[in-house]
């Protein structure tokens, strides 16, 4: 390297170091703004500083499954008029035989919504765990075969307690055989830390990163109530989730999909609480991805 090349290289280095990476879209889970109609939902979310909406398309959601063909275009249009995106929807779809499945996917394709969250399956005493996973795998295969015809990508959300996917390994079994374009993980660090507070959350994170499509953001801590240890949801940063580790891993992996804010704690649906949680996410993203 000659003197001129050295000067140009060293001068450009600080600029390169400061170049921010592409960032995830900051979305609000519309469950926590259920009191608002579509237009007000978009207006309030924009005012708070969100990039988009994770829209509920399920029973008691912003769009009812039986009206998805008529109402999803109206809801998305009302939201987009405020300059927001709808990169994903949250559904209760678990099987291709659901009468809402095909019209939901048709509407998503027409509207350019690429991602959807699948509903939950649960473990019960009968059948046993392995048999349950096989049953879920068959239902998943049929649902994804249908949605892939419309160019859509499904996300499996890990939920603590007796939900299939609580350990993430079981979702890995279910995903086997599908392509990353067809389906991946809708990862929830909060539920992951509930299930594996010592180190299993780290194992789960490593498993999901190559096929991470969406991420739910919520926080919690353990609290003893009525003689039993129970989970208590709380504002972001006040709980046990090691956010620095999660956001650093997301940034390193180049994750730029939706981050869906879930304010599950009492008072979390107040706009002031939602805004505080959003500001926390923004600080974490800025730190991990670059300002």
pLDDT tens-place string over residues 179-233: 999 999 999 999 999 999 999 999 999 999 999 999 999 999 999 999 999 999 9
| pLDDT tens digit at each of 291 positions of the chain | 444 333 334 444 443 445 667 999 999 999 999 999 999 999 999 999 999 999 999 999 999 999 999 999 999 999 999 999 999 999 999 999 999 999 999 999 999 999 999 999 999 989 999 999 999 999 999 999 999 999 999 999 999 999 999 999 999 999 999 999 999 999 999 999 999 999 999 999 999 999 999 999 999 999 999 999 999 999 999 999 999 999 999 999 999 999 999 999 999 999 999 999 999 999 999 999 997
Per-residue tokens: 138: 């068959």
pLDDT for 11: 41
Which helix (H) or strand (E) is 205 found in, with range?
helix 200-208
> Per the domain annotation, does 12 fall within a domain?
no
Number of Cβ within 10 Å of residue 286's Cβ equals 13
> Per the domain annotation, does 73 fall within a domain?
yes
pLDDT for 8: 35
Which helix (H) or strand (E) is 53 found in, with range?
strand 52-57
| SS3 of residue 59 by DSSP | coil
Let me know: does 155 contact 175? Beta carbons within 8 Å: no
Give CA–CA dist 197/194, Å, rounded. 6
> Per the domain annotation, does 109 fall within a domain?
yes
pLDDT for 291: 73
Give CA–CA dist 206/249, Å, rounded. 9
> Per the domain annotation, does 1 fall within a domain?
no
pLDDT for 19: 62
> Per the domain annotation, does 82 fall within a domain?
yes
Rg (CA), the chain: 20
The whole domain housing 242 covers 23-289
Best CA proximity match to 26, nearest among 247, 193, 267: 247
> Per the domain annotation, does 230 fall within a domain?
yes
Q: Give the CA distances from residue 183 to residues 27, 211, 220, 247, in Å, rounded to whole numbers and listed in that order.
A: 20, 8, 28, 22
| SS3 of residue 123 by DSSP | coil
Q: Give the CA distances from residue 45 to residues 139, 142, 209, in Å, rounded to whole numbers and listed in that order.
A: 35, 35, 28
> Per the domain annotation, does 5 fall within a domain?
no
Q: How many domains does the chain have?
A: 1
CATH at residue 193: 3.20.20.150
> Per the domain annotation, does 273 fall within a domain?
yes
Q: Spell 54-81 as b/e; 16+ CB within 10 A means b.
A: bbbbbeebbbbbeebeebbeebbebbbe
């Amino acid at each position: 390297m000659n003197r001129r090349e050295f000067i140009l290289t060293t001068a450009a280095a600080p600029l390169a170091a400061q170049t921010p990476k592409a960032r995830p879209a900051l979305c609000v889970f519309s469950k926590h703004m259920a009191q608002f109609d579509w237009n007000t939902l978009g207006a309030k979310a924009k005012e708070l500083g969100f990039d988009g909406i994770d829209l509920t398309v399920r029973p008691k959601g912003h769009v009812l499954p039986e009206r998805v063909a008529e109402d999803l275009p109206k809801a998305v249009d009302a939201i987009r008029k405020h300059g927001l995106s709808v990169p994903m929807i949250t559904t209760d779809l678990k099987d291709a035989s659901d009468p809402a499945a095909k019209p939901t996917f048709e509407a998503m394709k027409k509207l350019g919504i690429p991602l959807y969250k699948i509903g939950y399956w649960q473990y019960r005493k009968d059948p046993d765990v392995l048999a349950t996973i096989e049953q879920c795998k068959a239902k998943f295969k049929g649902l994804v075969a249908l949605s892939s015809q419309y160019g859509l990508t499904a996300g499996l959300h890990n939920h603590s307690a007796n939900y299939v996917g609580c350990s993430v390994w079981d979702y890995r079994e279910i995903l086997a055989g599908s392509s990353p374009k067809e389906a991946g993980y809708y990862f929830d660090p909060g539920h992951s830390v509930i299930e594996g507070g010592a180190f299993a959350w780290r194992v789960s994170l490593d498993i999901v990163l190559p096929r991470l499509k969406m991420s739910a953001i919520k926080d919690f801590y353990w609290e003893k109530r009525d003689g039993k240890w129970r989970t208590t949801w709380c504002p972001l940063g006040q709980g046990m989730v090691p956010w620095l580790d999660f956001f650093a891993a997301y940034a390193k992996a180049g994750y730029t999909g939706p981050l869906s804010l879930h304010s599950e704690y009492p008072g979390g649906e107040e706009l002031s609480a939602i805004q505080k949680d959003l500001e926390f996410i923004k600080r974490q993203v800025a730190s991990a991805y670059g300002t």
